[in-house]
Amino acid sequence: AARRPRGERRPLHRGRVPAGAVQAVAPDAVQRLVQEADRLMAGHAEFFGVVRRDLADPDWWYDPRTGRRAPGGHAFDVPYRDEEAAGDIKQIWEPSRHQYLTVLAAAYALTGDERYAERVAAQLRSWWAANPPLRGVHWISGIELGIRLVSWVWIRRLLEGWPGAAALFEDSAVARAQIWHHQRWLAAFPSRGSSANNHAVAEAAGQLAAACAFGWFPASARWRAGALRSLERHLRANTFGSGLNRELATEYHGLVLELGLAAVAEADTAGVAVPAAVRLVLLRMTDALAAVVDGRLRPPRQGDADDGHGLVLDGPGTDRWASLLATGEAVFGRLAWWPRVTGTDVRTPLLAALLTRAALSAARPASRPDHFADAGLTLLRGPGEIWCRCDGGPHGFLSIAAHAHADALAVEVRHDGVDVLADPGTYCYHDRPEWRRYFRSTLGHNTLTLDGADQSASGGPFLWTRHARSRVLAAETSGGVARWCAEHDGYRGSVHRRRVELTAASREVRITDEVRGPRRTVRLVFHLGPGVAADLAGNRAVLTWTRDGEGRGAVLDLPDRLDWRAHRGESQPPLGWYSAGFGRKEPATTLVGTGRSDATEGFTTVLGFRG
């Protein structure tokens, strides 16, 4: 595997950080980066809620959560979805995306401290030795190979100037073989059909980035051209015309946007012509992100979220969404209605310096969009940074809707960035099936269930066999009273219709639910954010929380025809939880009202903010 592939040219590396880009990084961003790099140098890191202290010399196949180690053998024979046999695959895969090594490499580029470069080199050589091509758990999934290639491209760029950089990459037969086999794998086993979601974008982005930066092989030009075609096709397929991601999972919007920008940066650096359609998709995605965030730059918590990133160059404390908007401003220019980004990051100056500011003949929104008809997402905004997301869109993307939740007509309400009526999140994927079912269920969202069933039918952790169909009937987002109305047919024989009104003068959100069809058992559910305390008496809940040290509050008047109970941190079955990130959960209050539907009378809930 370490031999140079036949016909390989003498490698030359041209991917450098542009002059002045390092100096443009703000001092506080450098400080956060160095603090994280020093923690990594001590071998400390956290992945999905599990703290690791062994990263100074990691076992690349070990899962610290279960204590298991993935078996060896041919990659496609590894039972990676069997936790008993292979451990928690996400815990094993995540360090091998090598995004913590891009952090160390960035610390070298910004400080010149060779300790960081030497650690990166030692860990890459360790990984290459432990993971020969097509052997073991790290050669199974194309998204992992694609993201790893993006990391390697940036590691080589950031180590430019270190005396050992060439020996680590272009002068190393082992490194060249690894890069070649990664690209050969991606060319041979692309995600297709119902799997052609964000995975396909990651594969194309990694292939394009590597074929541009490491264009050393006879197949490099072919791989580059094919990856560029694939990137254009999948970016367009994965994105609504409005700019929102078709998976209706916000974190995947961020992942796809990061990967697209990173891939185009490598093409621009290599002088490869990028179709205007690719940049237009990235522009629309950026404008859409600017439109949907709340006053604290937090986007909706919709669909699956697994903390996936396309390119990591920053330490903790750097806001991901602010960073993406800062990059968008640098590359595309901000519009007058965009929210202000006040934070700093390392990635924006370095990445934006590589991207060409191409003139795009695109009509951008003259004012801030609130209704995205193709995605079925509507935002109602009110005074005091009241932010209300209403979901009346498609169930998910493609036939399996892998990253969708059964959340038709769900609402999400925030006050000054605080989750008041919250989307509980995702928590886990392959392992802990009862938790996976709960967090993607209808019960796990702020909507209504009939007869204890989900609106859409699940056939597995990443498969929906029947999709609820929603349609928005009205969306009026301007004026003193903003209104939204939608319905879905997920409950056979019945139709659930929901109306939401946000009245600016009274600072009230009014939610009215109607069920047309036979009388059925109803559960109306409202999940509160983890920082919100609730005092429930009868059908009234007094809500309190703090923001920036100040007390805030609201009153939630619930339908009196339902019997209301508060649940918090229950496990058998799961109810009353909030997941702030993948692998992490914490107790939060969930209010559940139980009763019977009545076709002649709806259920009205009023959330009134105080102070």
Q: What range defines the domain where residue 583 resides?
A: 372-610
For residues 341 and 414, membership in a common domain is answered with no
Which one, of 527, 537, 529, 603, lies nearest residue 564 by Cα? 537
CA distance 438 to 525: 13
- Asked whether residue 280 falls in the same domain as residue 223, the answer is yes
Distance CA 348, CA 282 (A): 15
Residues 507 and 584 in one domain: yes
* Together in a domain, 152 and 265: yes
Do 282 and 424 fall within a single domain?
no
Mean pLDDT per segment of 10 residues, for the chain of length 611 residues?
Answer: 54 77 97 98 96 95 96 95 94 98 98 98 98 98 98 98 97 98 97 88 98 97 98 97 97 98 97 96 98 97 97 95 97 96 96 92 94 98 96 96 97 97 95 94 98 96 96 96 98 96 98 96 98 98 96 97 98 97 97 92 95 70
H-run or E-run covering 127: helix 114-130
Please report the pLDDT score of residue 451 as a whole number: 96
Same domain (yes/no): 396, 270: no
In a domain, 257, yes or no: yes
Q: Which helix (H) or strand (E) holds 375?
A: none
In this structure, are residues 543 and 421 in contact, taking their beta carbons and an 8 Å threshold? no
* 366 domain-assigned: no
Tell whether 361 is covered by a domain. Answer: no
Residue 13 is assigned to a structural domain of this protein: no
Domain boundary among 297, 317, 352: 352
Residues 478 and 603 in one domain: yes
- Residue 318 and residue 390 in one domain: no
344 and 386 together in one domain: no
CATH code of the domain covering residue 273: 1.50.10.100
What gap in Å lies between CA 589 and CA 544, rounded to an integer? 12
22 inside domain: no
Tell whether 362 is covered by a domain: no
71 in the same domain as 35: yes
Rounded CA gap, 210 and 233, in Å? 19
- Radius of gyration for the chain, computed over Cα atoms and rounded to the nearest angstrom: 25
Assigned domain for 360 exists: no
Q: Do 528 and 387 reside in the same domain of the chain?
A: yes
- Whether 433 is in a domain gets the answer yes
Residues 314 and 448 in one domain: no
Residues 526 and 111: their CA atoms lie apart, in Å, by 49
Segment (H or E) for 550: strand 550-557
Buried b (16+ CB within 10 A) or exposed e, 268-282: bbbebebeeebbbbb
Residue 1: its pLDDT value, please?
Answer: 42
| pTM exceeding the 0.85 threshold for the entire prediction | yes
Question: In this predicted structure, what is the pLDDT of residue 9?
Answer: 60
CA dihedral 105, 108, 109, 111 (to 10 degrees): 150
CATH classification at residue 563: 2.70.98.70
Structural domain count, the chain: 2
